[in-house]
Amino acid sequence: MKYKRILLKLSGEALMGDNQYGIDAGRIEQYAREIRLIKDEGIEIAIVIGGGNIYRGVDAERTGIDRVQGDYMGMLATVINAMALQSILEKNGMYTRLMSGIKMEQVCEPFIKRKAVRHLEKGRIVIFGAGIGNPYFTTDSTASLRAIEMQADVVLKGTRVDGVYTADPEKNADATKYTTLSFQEAYEKGLKIMDMTAFTLCQENDLPIIVFNMNKSGNLLSIVKGEEVGTLIK
C-alpha cells in the first residue's frame, strides 16, 4: 500500500446524494463500503466531514443571524453528519471514534491529539466532528490541520468530480483534468482545490492532496494502492 495513514475529507453536500437537503441513505452506505475496502487493507483512517448539506456559516447573515453564531451552527451540523457516518460505519463492521472540536460529552470525545493518534494505531476509524472548533474556518482547513497533527501521508478530498480540471467540467465540455499539479501551479492558475487556509497549511507542511471522485466505486482503494486516480497536488 502506498499510503498507510490517510485523512479523508468528505463534504456535507456530497451526503445529500440527489436530494436538496439532509443525508441520503444510499450515498452514506456507499461511502461506508468504500471505506471498508481500505480498512480491510489495514489502512489507518481519519475522516473529516463537512456540514454543507445542513448549514453553512456564510448563509447566516442572509437570515439576520450573526456570522459567528452561524459558524457554530455549521460546526454543529458537521457533528450530525459525523454521528450518521459513525453509525453506518459501525453497522458495516468497523470500529470508530468520534472526536469533536466542541465538547459534547454525551455523544463524542473531545479532540485530544494523542488520543486520536492512539485510536488510529489501534485500528479505529477516527471521525473529526465540529471542525476545528473555531468560527471563520472550514472543514477543509480542519482536514489539513488534523492530517498534519495525525501525521497522515495524504489528504484525500472526495468530491463528485474526477479531479481538478482546467475549468468546471460540469459547465464546460472542453475542460481537461490535471493528473498532477504542484502547489505553486495550482495557486498561479487560481484553481480552487481547497480554501486558501487549508491549501497553505498543506503546502507549508509538504502534505500532498488528492482530489478524486468518491462516488466511483473502488477509487478510494485504488488511490491507497498508489494507482493514478484523480489529481495529485504536491
Residues engaged in binding ligand UDP (CB under 6 A): 11-13, 50-52, 56-58, 70-71, 74-75, 77-78, 131-132, 134-135, 137-140, 142
User: Which 3 state secondary structure label does DSSP give 175?
Assistant: coil
Residue 133 or residue 225: which is nearer to ligand UDP going by CB?
133
Residue 71 or residue 153: which is nearer to ligand UDP going by CB?
71
216, exposed or middle or buried, with CB in 10 Å at 0-12, 13-18, 19+? middle
- The span from the CA of 52 to the CA of 11, in Å, is 7
Residue 76 or residue 224: which is nearer to ligand UDP going by CB?
76
Read off the C-alpha cell for 162: 474526477
Give the nearest residue (CB) to ligand UDP. 50
Q: Distance from CA of residue 49 to its chain's centroid? A: 5
In the bound complex, what is the minimum distance in angstroms from residue 74's beta carbon to ligand UDP?
2
- The span from the CA of 79 to the CA of 98, in Å, is 9
In the bound complex, what is the minimum distance in angstroms from residue 129's beta carbon to ligand UDP?
10
Residue 111 or residue 165: which is nearer to ligand UDP going by CB?
111
Residue 1 or residue 58: which is nearer to ligand UDP going by CB?
58
In the bound complex, what is the minimum distance in angstroms from residue 122's beta carbon to ligand UDP?
26
- The span from the CA of 104 to the CA of 6, in Å, is 26
In the bound complex, what is the minimum distance in angstroms from residue 76's beta carbon to ligand UDP?
8
Pairing of strands 154-159, 109-110: unpaired
Residue 162 or residue 195: which is nearer to ligand UDP going by CB?
195
Residue 4 or residue 138: which is nearer to ligand UDP going by CB?
138
- Under 8 Å between Cβ of 207 and 140: no
- Nearest 5°: phi and psi at 49? -120, 140
In the bound complex, what is the minimum distance in angstroms from residue 93's beta carbon to ligand UDP?
26
In the bound complex, what is the minimum distance in angstroms from residue 112's beta carbon to ligand UDP?
17
What DSSP letter does each residue of 70-97 carry, written as one string? Answer: HHHHHHHHHHHHHHHHHHHHHHTT--EE
In the bound complex, what is the minimum distance in angstroms from residue 101's beta carbon to ligand UDP?
6
Give the CA distances from residue 167 to residues 106, 163, 199, in Å, rounded to whole numbers and listed in that order.
45, 11, 19
By residue count, the chain amounts to 234
